[in-house]
Amino acid sequence: MCDKKYMDERKGMKEITEFLSNTQCVSQNEIEKIQTIVETISYSKVRKTGFPALHEYQLAYHIVREADLLCAYDVDRCMVFHLYNNTANIEDAFQTAVNLFDERVFKHCEHGLILLDYTKTQIPALEQQCHLRFASWRNILLKKTF
């Protein structure tokens, strides 16, 4: 995935395209479909423009996109991202994570982003893990004395 949060999207796409072109086992059409998948799976792009029409590659698109969404159910990853990119204030990182999960992650189904049965079976356990992790962080932050 080439997401602007983590890298220059054009540079990343160029590297992916070069890699795929050099493998000689992926057709030009397949490279173009992979490019479309990578360029359109981000949460914000899907919410803004919807799903691309990829016909015979539609299932592949949803598998990759929903795998990316499942990776979002990681409270610590969210907090570390905030700490690295904003401030080294753990309370701010925690509150940012709470807000992001409440406004976005916990609403994947409500927002129509989850289509695959496998993903639907995974979300309840992932949400439970997130709630436990938030409770653990609340406990840690309440006891903070440093």
Each residue's pLDDT tens digit, 27-54: 999 999 999 998 888 888 899 999 999 9
Q: Within a 13 Å sphere around the CA of 94, how many CA atoms are in the beta-carbon half?
A: 14
Domain identity same for 21 and 85: no
Same domain, 53 and 114: no
63 and 52 co-located in one domain: yes
The pTM (predicted TM-score) of the whole model is: 0.84
Domain count, the chain: 2
List pLDDT tens digits, range 48-71: 999 999 999 999 999 999 999 999
User: Which structure tokens are listed for 75?
Assistant: 């409270």
Q: Are residues 92 and 23 in the same domain?
A: no
Structural domain containing residue 137: 72-146
CB-neighbour burial class of residue 82 (10 A; exposed 0-12, middle 13-18, buried 19+): buried
Last residue within a domain, chosen from 27, 45, 69: 69
Q: Are residues 24 and 91 located together in one domain of the fold?
A: no
Q: Kindly state whether residues 59 and 87 are assigned to the same domain.
A: no
Same domain, 54 and 93: no
